[in-house]
Amino acid sequence: MLRLGVNIDHVATIRNARGTPWPDPLRAALIAQAAGADGITAHLREDRRHISDADIDALMANLTQPLNFEMAATMEMQAIALRHRPHAVCIVPEKREERTTEGGLDVAGNDNALAGYIAPLREAGCRVSLFIGHEPAQIRAAARIGAAVVELHTGAYCDLDTEGRHAERDAELAALREGAALAHDLGLEVHAGHGLTFDTVGPIAAIPQVAELNIGHFLISESVFLGLEGAIREMRARMDAARA
């Protein structure tokens, strides 16, 4: 079955806008679990703009589903991951000025440094995932340095769909399909995510090599209208229909 990881970062964004204790990301994670999420994703950014260290503490103490801990490749974040030892660690590129993650990690250009960086995480029992684009060089580098998983960045595909640039969208989708096939052939588990909506999830969910989708901002946005449980169940249904 295609797994759904629910990213709860933007529950914390809403909380932090007013400096109150609510809405509580842990409560959102527990609702997501009950609604059928197969895992919870949380990105602890260097500037702590949404998820906090206390949130990670609470998630690790209370979740029954796996935590996918997204983080930049810094020594601070490595130390936090090694202290908590979550099920999965996803290394993402991070810029202080960006609103959201703008692209994939440059593994091919930093393979020696990243190989050394992820080695202690692997030894601690974390499944290491790299958030990358679909370029073959990046996928091959991820396999070469010992990552267990690659998460393919679907943001460009989703943006092109929203902008009505359908020929370019279809080309991007084809490239994602080719990237997923290559990653699978190299022994990597394939995940995908970023920007997925009810309208764009189907073609990504239908890629046979993709084992997991990680979706956050859209689900939190839709929960205003459908409730978080309702939004997750609708996404789950669309994923399952596409995979069937």
- Binding residues are 7, 9-10, 18, 45, 50, 100, 195, 216-217
DSSP 37-79: -SEEEEE--TT-SSS-HHHHHHHHHH-SSPEEEEE-S-HHHHH
CA-closest candidate to residue 41, choices 193, 165, 178: 193
- Cα gap 7→221, rounded to integer Å: 12
**Residue located via tokens 């073609």:** 203
From the list 43, 84, 153, 191, the catalytic residue is 43
Q: Tell me how long the chain is.
A: 244
Contact between 12 and 27 (Cβ < 8 Å): no
Which of 65, 56, 62, 51 shows the shortest CA–CA distance to 9? 51
Please, what sign has the CA dihedral across residues 234, 180, 208, 199?
positive
Bridge-partner residues for 33, per DSSP?
none
Nearest Cα neighbor of 35 from 201, 237, 197 is 237
Q: Is 43 known to be catalytic?
A: yes
CA angle 201, 207, 208 (to 5 degrees): 135
**Known binding positions for 1-deoxy-D-xylulose 5-phosphate:** 9-10, 45, 50, 100
Specify whether the CB–CB gap between 212 and 40 falls below 8 A.
no
Distance, in Å, from the CA atom of 93 to the CA atom of 158, rounded to the nearest integer, reads 19
Out of 84, 184, 191, 194, pick the active-site residue: 194
Q: Is 70 a catalytic residue?
A: yes
Residues within the annotated binding site for 3-amino-2-oxopropyl phosphate?
Answer: 7, 18, 195, 216-217
84 is catalytic: no
Residue in 70, 94, 151, 212 annotated catalytic? 70
Q: Catalytic amino acids? A: 43, 70, 194
